[in-house]
Structure 1
Amino acid sequence: MKKTIFALAISSAFVLPAQAADYVIDTEKAHAFIDFRIQHLGFSWMSGRFNDFEGTFSYDAENPEASKIDVKIDVASVDTNFAERDKHLREQFLNTAKHPEARFTSTSFEQQADGTLLMKGDFTLHGVTKPMTIPVEKIGEGEDPWGGYRVGFHGETSFIIEDYGIDVSKLGPSSQEVFLTLSIEGIRK
C-alpha cells in the first residue's frame, strides 16, 4: 500500500503543469537593449537607443500564453550619439519634463505555428496609451556560467509618432514611423 501511494505521489509530480518563472531584465550588465530608428528627412536613417530602462517578466516554456512583461523606460535617457540632437528630442518632441516615462505592459501572448510569440500589450509614450503588437522570437534559455538561469527574446515593431500626440510637422513625411528593436535577456529571480 505504501509503495502504491509513493508511486502515485511521484507520478503526479510529473504531470503537474510547470510554473511560470519570474525574471528581471538584465540591464545592470547591459544584456538588454531598446533600440530605435527613424528616417531623417527621407535622406538616411537615424538610430538611437534608450540607455535606462527596467522591467520584469514571467515565462513558462510549457505554457508561453501565460507569459507577462512590464517594462519602464526613462525617456530622458534617449541616446542618438549626438548630445545636441538628444537635448532637442527631449525638449521638443518627447517633452521628458512632463512625460518622463514610457511603458509597455503586456495583455496577452499568442504562440504561433512557427514557434514565435505574438506579444500584445499597452504602450504608453508622451502620456498617450495605445495597443501595440510585437512579434517575439525566443533566442534561448539555460544556466549561465555564474549559477543563474537566463532566457532571452528578440522582437521588432513600429509605431506612428503622431498617434502618441507628438508634433512631427518639422520631420517631413518620411519620418513618421519609428521602428523599435527589443533585445531582452532576463535572469530568473
Structure 2
Amino acid sequence: MRKSLALLAAAASIATVATTAQAADYAVDPTHTFVTFEIGHFNTSTNRGRFDKKEGSIQFDRAARTGKVDITIDVASVNTGTAAFDKHLNSADLFNTAVHPKARFVSDKLVFNGDKVVEVPGQFTFMGKTAPLTLKAVRFNCYDNPMLKREVCGGDFEAVVDRTVYGMDYAIAFGVPKDVRLVIQVEAVRQ
C-alpha cells in the first residue's frame, strides 16, 4: 500500500512538472506597455516620443527556455507632447503613416542567462521594410500579480535602430543622426 501511495505521489508530481513546463500564452497589457524612441537633435538635445497604441502576444516557457514575441505598434499614434511635431513625424518626410500605419516586431527565439531573458532576436517591420533587430533586456522578471491573480512577465528591452535601413533619410544631410534608440517596456499577463 505504501508503494502504491508513493508511486501515485510520484506520478502526480511528474504530471505537475509536465504541465508547468509547457509554454504559456501571455497577452500584452497595454496599460503597462510603452514603446518609446529617442533621437539626437543636432548634437544638442534629445527628441523623445512614444506610441500610444500597441498590442501583442508572447509565448513563454521558462523551463524549456523558449518563447515567441509578436508586438504591433500603431505608428500613427505617435505622441511627443507637441502636436506640430507629431504631425511632421506622421508625414511623408518621416513615418509616412498614410502608407505605413503599423510597425511590427516578431521573434521566435528568446536568449536566456539562467532564468532571465537577456536578448530577443527577431525581425522588425517598419515603413514597409523588414530587417533583423535584437532587443537587449535591460530588466526582466516574472511575478504573481496580486490584483489580477495571474502571473505577469516582462521587462525593459532596447535596441539601436538605423532608420536609414527602413528608408527614413530625412535630415541626415543636416546632421540629424541615423541611429534611434528604441525602448519597449512590456508587461504581459498569462492567459
Name the stretch that deviates more: 109-118 or 18-27: 109-118
Which ranges of structure 1 fall in alignment gaps of 5 or more residues?
A: none
What TM-score results when the alignment is normalised by the length of structure 1? Answer: 0.88
Q: Match for 1:38: what amino acid?
A: I
What count of residue pairs does the alignment treat as equivalent? 186
Change (3 A) 1:9 1:116: closer
Structure-2 residue corresponding to 1:19: 22
Corresponding residue for residue 151 of structure 2 = 149
Structure 1 contact 120–132 (Cα < 8 Å) conserved: yes
Q: Does residue 73 of structure 2 align to residue 73 of structure 1?
A: yes
- After superposition, give the CA deviation of every residue in 1:10-38 in whole Å (9 maximum; x if it has no partner): 243255361121111111xx211111100
Match of 1:40 in 2: 41
Distance 1:133 1:78, change over 3 A: same
Q: Deviation of residue 174 (structure 1)?
A: 4.3
163, 167, 172: which one aligns with 2:169: 167
TM-score, structure 2 as length reference? 0.88
Q: Is the 8 A contact 1:122 1:130 kept in 2?
A: yes
The match for 1:98 is 99
Shift of 1:7: 4.0
Q: Where in structure 2 are there 5+ consecutive unaligned residues? A: none
Distance 1:84 1:171, change over 3 A: farther
Distance 2:84 2:29 in 1: 29
CA deviation digits over 1:49-92, x for unaligned, max 9?
Answer: 0000100101122233x111100001101111111111111012
- Kindly, what percent of the aligned residue pairs are identical? 35
The structural deviation recorded for 1:187 is: 1.2
In structure 2, distance between residues paired with 1:151 and 1:180: 20
What value does the CA root-mean-square deviation take over the aligned residues?
Answer: 2.1
Deviations 1:96-130 (A, max 9, x none): 01101100000321113694421100000000000
Report what 1:124 is aligned to: 125
The answer as to whether partners of 2:121 and 2:135 remain within 8 angstroms in 1 is yes
What is the CA–CA distance in structure 1 between the aligned matches of 2:67 and 2:143, rounded to whole Å? 15
